[in-house]
Amino acid sequence: MNNIKNIFNSFNILGDYISSEPYGNGHINDTYKVFVSQGGATIHYLFQRINNHVFKNPENLMSNIERICIHLQYKIKKSYSQNASRSALSLVSSKEDKPFVLDETGYWRCYLFIEDALGYDIIDTENQAFEAAKAFGTYQSLLSDLPGERLIETIPDFHNTPKRFQHFKEIIRLDTNSLADSVKKEIDFYLSFEKEISYFTDRLKSGDLPERVTHNDTKLNNVLLDVKSGKAVCIIDLDTSMPGLAAYDFGDLVRTSTCFSAEDEKDLSKVVFQKEMFESLITGYLSTASSFLTENEVKSLVFGSILMTYEVGMRFLTDYLDGNFYFKSKYTEHNLIRSRTQMTLVESLLQNRDELEEFTWSVYENMKKSKFCPV
Ligand code: ADP
Ligand code: GN1
Ligand code: MG
């Protein structure tokens, strides 16, 4: 951890470095909780080394994040009497007044540590689902008037499912690790969706669905919930906040919040879709998003859940075939196991699709009615 101490010295932090430890379960960046003595009290900061294999231009990425953090802080301070430094991420600048520090190991950033709040890998209660979804709706709403130029696409075509599909097919064709024969069932499953994969790219192009500033990586553990009250505190992991569709965000949250099993559960009999979690998610999300979503967007949310689950599952399988270069993994088959849970979830979502769409529409209509006819 000597390196972290050096990095610490390059940020504009008052106080003395005590120690640091790896933190959280993210699949992408290297994250550390850093303990600092400040005037006799121990306080914490969150340090991250940005994954430069995944993010090709960390300086552009940090310029997006800086704009977003400043805007969120400004709007939260202006409209709510809340603790803004706990409700939105705050970047600590470097001694050179930059939002990052570059050393021989890569780009580092530092955030204020959000205390007494946790990101959960597995959903537990309907209240958590409601709170998380409500918070992502608020996030989209707060960023709807982000001033300045269109945000930079930190990973171009991140949710371009047809491009992901082409890449998947190319990796199967190359089959550099000679694994394709052993996972034929999984490959066939993901290939069988070819007709569905351009649903969002087509509608984005035709203008049926509007581009918005979205988060694009809304897994449940990317929203911190207060450990005591369970209320949503802060949206984190802003690396992929950029132009996108509302359904991407709602969809990825459904993917990660409607099963009581882990993303890497080996026993697929435990991967069971929980309808009441979906109901809490849609109710929470529409409580903050129904005021700005178009009807077409509302109608796209259930399919967004299916396609986002499919897309990530296909990405896991692609990474497995390719030699596990992208997602952090603990054993060789880790990404294969992850791709299987996503297959099971896609199947359950498809089975429930009509009912979920009807439920979504009824919640939306009720919210619209109660808005126009307040009791
Ligand atoms: P990754 O991109 O690798 O997923 P994240 O930005 O999601 O990295 O961070 C990893 C974990 O660190 C999160 O799941 C969360 O538990 C924790 N975390 C991130 N930022 C903060 C913060 N500012 N305060 C407290 N915990 C944080
Ligand atoms: C990654 O960074 P993290 O763990 O929140 C990935 C997401 C995937 C997710 C799957 C930048 O999210 O796209 O959906 O893993 N993030 C990136 O768990 O690729
Ligand atoms: Mg994360």
**pLDDT score of 371:** 74
User: Is the confidence at residue 1, as pLDDT, over 60?
Assistant: no
What confidence category does residue 372 fall into, taking pLDDT thresholds of 50, 70 and 90?
low
Query: For residue range 28-60, what is the model confidence (pLDDT) as tens digits?
Result: 999 999 999 999 999 999 999 999 999 999 999
Ligand 1 centre distance from Cα of residue 234 (Å): 11
**pLDDT score of 235:** 98
User: Is the confidence at residue 194, as pLDDT, over 60?
Assistant: yes
Helix or strand holding residue 242 (H, E): strand 242-244
Give the count of beta carbons closer than 10 Å to the beta carbon of residue 200: 26
Atom of ligand 2 nearest to the CA of 239: 11
**Taking the mean position of all CA atoms in its chain, how far away is CA 140?**
13
**pLDDT score of 165:** 98
Atom of ligand 2 nearest to the CA of 312: 14
Rama region for 47: left / alpha / beta (φ>0; ψ in -120 to 50; rest)? beta
CA separation for the pair 134, 313 (Å, rounded): 25
Residue range 84-98: mean pLDDT, rounded = 96
Q: For the residues of 92-134, what is the DSSP string, one character each?
A: PPBTTS-S-EEETTEEEEEEE--TTEE--SS---HHHHHHHHH
**pLDDT score of 168:** 98
Cα torsion 305, 306, 312, 316 to 10°: value is 140
Residue whose CA lies nearest to ligand 1 atom number 11: 24
In angstroms, the Cα distances linking 125 to 7, 109, 171, 231, 282 are 39, 33, 39, 12, 14
Residue range 147-173: mean pLDDT, rounded = 98
Q: Name residues with Cβ closer than 5 Å to ligand 3, which is an ion.
A: 26, 222, 237
CA separation for the pair 316, 335 (Å, rounded): 5
- What CATH superfamily classification does 2-115 receive? Phosphorylase Kinase; domain 1 (3.30.200.20)
User: Is the confidence at residue 374, as pLDDT, over 60?
Assistant: no
Atom of ligand 1 nearest to the CA of 29: 3
| CATH pick for 126-372 out of 3.90.1200.10, 1.10.1240.10, 3.40.50.300, 3.30.2290.10 | 3.90.1200.10
User: Is the confidence at residue 203, as pLDDT, over 70?
Assistant: yes
Ligand 2 centre distance from Cα of residue 317 (Å): 14
**pLDDT score of 65:** 98
Residue whose CA lies nearest to ligand 2 atom number 18: 27
Determine the residue of 56, 154, 327, 346 to mutate for testing ligand 2's pocket, defined as the one with the most ligand atoms within 8 A of the Cβ atom: 327
Q: Measured from the CB, is residue 111 less than 6 Å from ligand 1?
A: yes
What confidence category does residue 172 fall into, taking pLDDT thresholds of 50, 70 and 90?
very high
Q: Give me the percent of the chain exceeding a pLDDT of 70.
A: 98
Q: For the residues of 8-53, what is the DSSP string, one character each?
A: HHHB---SEEEEEEE----SSSEEEEEEEEETTEEEEEEEEE--TT
Query: For residue range 317-365, what is the model confidence (pLDDT) as tens digits?
Result: 999 999 999 999 999 999 999 999 999 999 999 999 999 999 999 999 9
Cα torsion 264, 266, 269, 273 to 10°: value is 0
Residue whose CA lies nearest to ligand 1 atom number 16: 24
Query: For residue range 212-241, what is the model confidence (pLDDT) as tens digits?
Result: 999 999 999 999 999 999 999 999 999 999
What confidence category does residue 80 fall into, taking pLDDT thresholds of 50, 70 and 90?
low
Q: Measured from the CB, is residue 27 less than 6 Å from ligand 2?
A: yes
Ligand 1 centre distance from Cα of residue 342 (Å): 23
Q: Measured from the CB, is residue 221 less than 6 Å from ligand 1?
A: yes
**pLDDT score of 66:** 98
Q: Which ligand is nearest to the CA of 327?
A: 2
Q: Measured from the CB, is residue 312 less than 6 Å from ligand 2?
A: yes
Q: Measured from the CB, is residue 263 less than 6 Å from ligand 2?
A: yes
End-to-end CA distance of the chain: 59
Ligand 3 centre distance from Cα of residue 221 (Å): 6
**pLDDT score of 83:** 84
Ligand 1 centre distance from Cα of residue 230 (Å): 18
What is the residue extent of each domain of the chain? 2-115, 126-372
Ligand 2 centre distance from Cα of residue 363 (Å): 29
User: Is the confidence at residue 89, as pLDDT, over 80?
Assistant: yes
Atom of ligand 2 nearest to the CA of 240: 11
